Amino acid sequence: QLQLQESGPGLAKPSETLSLTCTVSGDSFSRTGFYWGWIRQPPGKGLEWIGTVHYTGSNYFNPSLKSRLTISIDKSKNQFSLKLTSVTASDTAVYYCARLQLWFRQIDFWGQGTLVRVSS
Amino acid sequence: QSALTQPASVSGSPGQSIAISCTGTSSDVGGYDYVSWYQQYPGKAPKVMIYDVTNRPSGVSNRFSGSKSGNTASLTISGLQAEDEADYYCSSYTSISTLVFGGGTKVTVL
């Protein structure tokens, strides 16, 4: 059974960089037809798609976050990572890593989510 | 990109049927059959209930069904049960190769 686990600091300072890593286990990270992505949810609010990457390196980003966003893959460790620069309080959210199918037609596996607070 | 439009809340009595709408544009919901629906309980990760507008993943109750007409997709829950009380989100692939979610709908079982 595929499992995803987010890891990283639970606190980031304003104007600094938020960094998270997702470790994938239980299945091939390079299986054709699947993508890996990040979704966030501010406290008490709805879901927001952040971005998605394919193991070949192709990436797709939310236009509203694109200028601050990097998503990278480490195939040797079955991990993918998120870096969001110049964070503000509005970036406080539960961050989920997930597996998406082709055309983002469904998100079939999710991590448990990790809360990141942006505060000085 | 703008979020898809969902009603903030929908309620129904046990055994009734309810429908949740998800309105987008011809660049997302209306342009692709890649609409999915997610159920989320408080403090938990979402779970896919419907994908490709009408398809149910293995293990999802057949009380959940999806449809689409033009730029609006809908999730119908038949035979409403107490365990269906949760938040529901729609999502759609878009013409610029992104994913957009709806604002979410809180379902209350009266």
List the beta bridge partners of residue B72. Answer: B23, B69
Q: What does the CA dihedral B35, A38, A99, A59 come to, rounded to 10 degrees? A: 90
Chain B residues contacting A, CB < 8 Å?
1, 3, 32, 34, 36, 38, 40, 45-48, 51-52, 57, 89, 91, 93, 96-104
The chain B residue lying nearest A108, using CA atoms, is B48
pLDDT at position A55 is 86
Q: Find which of A65, A107, A108 to mutate to test the B interface (most B CBs within 10 Å of its CB).
A: A107
- Please check whether residue A58 is in contact with residue A47, taking contact to mean a CB–CB distance below 8 angstroms: no
SS3 of residue A58 by DSSP: coil
Instruction: Provide, as residue numbers in chain A, all residues whose Cβ is less than 8 Å from the Cβ of B93.
Output: 103-105
- Please check whether residue A59 is in contact with residue A36, taking contact to mean a CB–CB distance below 8 angstroms: no
Average pLDDT over residues B50-78: 98
pLDDT mean across residues, chain A: 95
The span from the CA of A79 to the CA of A23, in Å, is 5
- A52 phi and psi angles, rounded to 5 deg: -140, 145
Q: How many CB atoms lie under 10 A from the CB of residue A5?
A: 14
Q: Is the pLDDT of residue B1 over 90?
A: no
Instruction: Provide, as residue numbers in chain A, all residues whose Cβ is less than 8 Å from the Cβ of B96.
Output: 63
Average pLDDT over residues A89-114: 96
Residue A22: half-sphere exposure toward Cβ, Cα within 13 Å? 30
C-alpha separations of B3 from A110, B6, B78, B101, B106 in Å: 21, 9, 26, 6, 16
List, for residues A22-47, the tens digit of each pLDDT value. 999 998 778 888 999 999 999 999 99
Q: What does the CA dihedral B24, A62, A107, A29 come to, rounded to 10 degrees? A: 160
In this structure, chain B runs to a length of: 110
Structure tokens at A19: 């960094």
Confirm or reject contact between A81 and chain B (CB < 8 A): no
Residue B30 DSSP symbol: T
Residue B14's pLDDT band, with cuts at 50, 70 and 90, is very high
Structure tokens at A50: 């952040």
List, for residues A52-63, the tens digit of each pLDDT value. 999 888 999 999
With a CB cutoff of 8 Å and minimum separation 6, the contacts of B67 are: B53, B54, B73, B74, B76
Instruction: Provide, as residue numbers in chain B, all residues whose Cβ is less than 8 Å from the Cβ of A52.
Output: 99
pLDDT at position A56 is 86
CA distance B44 to chain A (A): 7
Single-letter residue type at B40: Q
